[in-house]
Amino acid sequence: MIKSNYVEKLLKGVEVEWKTLSQGEKKVAELMRGRVMSKAYLEENAGDYPVYSSQTKKNGEIGKVNTYDFEGEFITWTTDGANAGTVFYRTGKFSITNVCGLIKINNTKELNYRYLFYWLSIEAKKHVYSGMGNPKLMSNQVAKIQIPIPPLKVQEEIVRILDAFTELTTELITELTAELVAHKKQYEYYRDKLLTFEEGEVKWRTLREVALEFGRGKSKHRPRNDSKLYGGNIPFIQTGDIRNAPHIIREFTQTYSKFGLEQSKLWTKGTLCITIAANIAETAILGFDACFPDSVIGFVANPQKTSSSYVEYLLTSYKSKLQSKSTGSAQENINLATFESLLLPFPSLAEQERIVSILDKFDALTSSITEGLLREIELRQKQYEYYRNILLSFLKEGVEE
């Protein structure tokens, strides 16, 4: 933990000179851009030197090639897309793609690379703008960013503190994430165990055999500006609403008009929704009457044979097997016939109810633990950002925004 009195003592009376990053006489760095590197290029020139792009996974690395464009200490940033303005500290031999920019400090006796990295981690995102609907942070904007430059020793002390705090925060978040994964695996193990039956122990049936109604939605995805179709008060469920719902769908982002309903079909509350395109084999139960597109299967349970809750737990357990049956295309999909031919285990109604009761309780417990761990991870990240900002809280006196 960083003590506030130590921070005050560290920063008290410190003279800070403000300079632009790469503009005018007081610029402190040079800016460069990466180059286009296709997937084919990466495969044909495979080697030992990393190539970094716009993604945040694996520290931005998308592959390795047999040559490199840069060697030494640098900072890079993402110029385009959802991660525009994300900043990375780089060392060694590497290359970057055309959606990345690179910063080379002119005088490392004046400005520390990691100090600049921490400052830009706060400041760069503030300069992201929308270019034709696509977030961007191009070189001409980065060049204007102003940098507070205290004495090098102060920069080094700030870096020492933030490096240690970063390591501690990363370690704590890694431990919490591992605990989160462990709880999820534990839940999946017991769920699959409850839904595993010996041969001859239960009846195996198709979904159509245990349904009052089973089929694809009739709605088609249309342009969002189709005023005839949208804008009424009839919920229109999309695949994202199903994917994001914890068992019961209670929220939606689109509505149909009466005209839209005439082109579609209204499914009743309690219908199990199953996605068959894009994010395949995602399931959730309608918490209200709604329409949904033909990329979703509707299952209305025959209460004398099963329940939507039991079938949803079954399909969740079989999810990886179902996804392996998807056809290769731009958007993965499973056709209706795959679900129609799928044989699933159906014990007695009493046993199904017992299984659902156990899984409901276990799911509620797991969800509670998950929410707690996610909240703790978020708090740790905010705590880190709070102390980072304190250490870099220099007053911009006389500096134009």
Task: Report the pLDDT averaged over residues 19-38.
Answer: 93
Q: How confident is the model at residue 333 (pLDDT cuts 50, 70, 90)?
A: low
pLDDT in tens, 91-136: 999 999 999 999 999 999 999 999 999 999 989 999 998 866 689 9
First and final C-alpha spacing in the chain: 32
**Distance set, CA 232 to CA 228, 259, 261 (Å):** 9, 9, 10
Answer for the pair 161, 391: CB distance below 8 angstroms, yes or no: yes
Q: How confident is the model at residue 401 (pLDDT cuts 50, 70, 90)?
A: very low
pLDDT above 60 (res 381): yes
The whole model's pTM is what? 0.66
Question: Does the residue 187 lie in any domain?
Answer: no
Question: Does the residue 259 lie in any domain?
Answer: yes
Q: Within this chain, do residues 8 and 142 fall inside the same structural domain, yes or no?
A: no
Lowest mean pLDDT among 180-184, 229-233, 290-294: 229-233
pLDDT above 80 (res 150): yes
Q: Within this chain, do residues 88 and 123 fall inside the same structural domain, yes or no?
A: yes
Question: Does the residue 315 lie in any domain?
Answer: yes
pLDDT above 60 (res 330): no
Which contacts qualify for 352-359: CB closer than 8 Å, 24 or more apart? 352/306, 352/307, 352/310, 353/307, 353/310, 355/194, 355/195, 355/310, 355/313, 356/307, 356/309, 356/310, 356/313, 358/194, 359/191, 359/194, 359/313
pLDDT at 87: 95
Strand order in the sheet with 283-286: 211-216, 296-301, 272-275, 283-286, 248-249
Task: Report the pLDDT averaged over residues 202-212.
Answer: 93
Place of tokens 């939606």: 252
Task: Report the pLDDT averaged over residues 325-346.
Answer: 69
Answer for the pair 104, 41: CB distance below 8 angstroms, yes or no: no
Contacts of 26 (CB under 8 A, 6+ apart): 19, 20
Q: Within this chain, do residues 40 and 9 fall inside the same structural domain, yes or no?
A: no
Question: Does the residue 178 lie in any domain?
Answer: yes
Question: Does the residue 189 lie in any domain?
Answer: no
Q: Within this chain, do residues 241 and 321 fall inside the same structural domain, yes or no?
A: yes
- The two tokens of residue 39 are 């997937």
Q: Within this chain, do residues 230 and 311 fall inside the same structural domain, yes or no?
A: yes
Question: Does the residue 262 lie in any domain?
Answer: yes
pLDDT above 80 (res 13): no
Contacts of 389 (CB under 8 A, 6+ apart): 122
Q: Is 348 helix (H, G, I), strand (E, B) or coil?
A: coil
Q: Within this chain, do residues 93 and 240 fall inside the same structural domain, yes or no?
A: no
- The two tokens of residue 119 are 């400052």
Place of tokens 């204007």: 144
Residue % of the chain over a pLDDT of 70: 89
Q: Within this chain, do residues 8 and 23 fall inside the same structural domain, yes or no?
A: no
Distance of alpha carbon 275 from alpha carbon 312, whole angstroms:
12
CATH number of the domain residue 338 falls in: 3.90.220.20
Question: Does the residue 195 lie in any domain?
Answer: no
Last residue of a domain, one of 330, 346, 362: 346
Q: Within this chain, do residues 235 and 325 fall inside the same structural domain, yes or no?
A: yes
pLDDT in tens, 367-376: 888 888 888 8
Distance of alpha carbon 230 from alpha carbon 238, whole angstroms:
13
Mean confidence (pLDDT) of the chain: 86
Q: Within this chain, do residues 169 and 207 fall inside the same structural domain, yes or no?
A: no
Q: Within this chain, do residues 332 and 378 fall inside the same structural domain, yes or no?
A: no
Q: Within this chain, do residues 326 and 219 fall inside the same structural domain, yes or no?
A: yes
Question: Does the residue 232 lie in any domain?
Answer: yes
pLDDT in tens, 291-309: 898 889 999 999 999 999 9
Amino acid identity of residue 63, one-letter, is G
pLDDT in tens, 29-55: 999 999 999 999 999 999 999 999 988
Distance of alpha carbon 255 from alpha carbon 274, whole angstroms:
19
Supply the range of the domain harboring residue 31.
17-149
pLDDT in tens, 255-276: 888 887 887 889 999 999 998 8
Q: Within this chain, do residues 43 and 5 fall inside the same structural domain, yes or no?
A: no
- State the total domains in the chain: 3
What's 124's DSSP letter? G
Q: Is 248 helix (H, G, I), strand (E, B) or coil?
A: strand
Distance of alpha carbon 219 from alpha carbon 93, whole angstroms:
53
pLDDT above 50 (res 16): yes
Q: How confident is the model at residue 7 (pLDDT cuts 50, 70, 90)?
A: low
